Amino acid sequence: MNELTTRDHIIDAADQLFYMQGYAHTSFADIAEKVKISRGNFYYHFKCKDEILDAVIDLRLENTRKMLVQWEQEGNDPEERIRSFIHILIANQAKIMAYGCPVGTLNTELAKLNHASHADASELFSLFRTWLARQFTLLGREADADDLAMHLLARSQGVATLASAFHDEQFVRQEVRHMCDWVKSCAEGI
């Protein structure tokens, strides 16, 4: 039951290809080949390329929400939960070093393309932003929770960018350590 439909397969393949190759550089032929369907069959499920992008963004939003809920359930205290966020840099290190952060690079590309869905894509950032801010609030930093969230978001974005430019695994680990230390100092310095 609940089998994956062709539509799901298309979204899934597009999700990966948009991440690995970028949206503009991924063609229908690329997706069709990956899903093993004919190019024409696409337009039964989506009426244009932008619609696939929207579906991909929706999928990522959904998966991100699930992930954040899971972190919230697994982590016993806010500091540990924030560490879960920081450690995606380690967990997805190989992909990040090859393609950068899926959230950051998509936003960057859509901003350049002046694409209508850029606002939707930035909602991915907002998800992390508000989640992190909530954790910082629980940490006793209600007054500057959003600033701290943005700060941490920015640092992880920068690490992803440089990791992909320099392919430096050790740099990632070091920055992750620093960020974890910083979170601890946030909790202590109330």
Q: Which residues contact DNA by CB under 7 A?
A: 5-6, 26-30, 36-45, 47-50
CB of 17 to DNA, least distance (A): 10
CB of 85 to its own copies, least distance (A): 14
177 binds its own copies (CB under 8 A): no
50 binds its own copies (CB under 8 A): no
Residue nearer to its own copies on the CB measure, 47 or 112: 112
Question: What would the 3-class secondary structure string for the chain be?
Answer: CCCCCHHHHHHHHHHHHHHHHCCCCCCHHHHHHHHCCCCCCHHHHCCCHHHHHHHHHHHHHHHHHHHHHHHHHHCCCHHHHHHHHHCHHHHCHHHHHHHCCHHHHHHHHHHHHCCCCHHHHHHHHHHHHHHHHHHHHHCCCCCCHHHHHHHHHHHHHHHHHHHHHHCCHHHHHHHHHHHHHHHHHHHHCC
Residue nearer to its own copies on the CB measure, 45 or 49: 49
100 binds its own copies (CB under 8 A): yes
Residue nearer to DNA on the CB measure, 44 or 171: 44
Residue 41 interacting partner from its own copies, DNA, none (CB closer than 5 to 8 Å by kind) = DNA
CB of 108 to DNA, least distance (A): 19
Size of the residue set binding its own copies (CB under 8 A): 39
102 binds its own copies (CB under 8 A): no
178 binds its own copies (CB under 8 A): yes
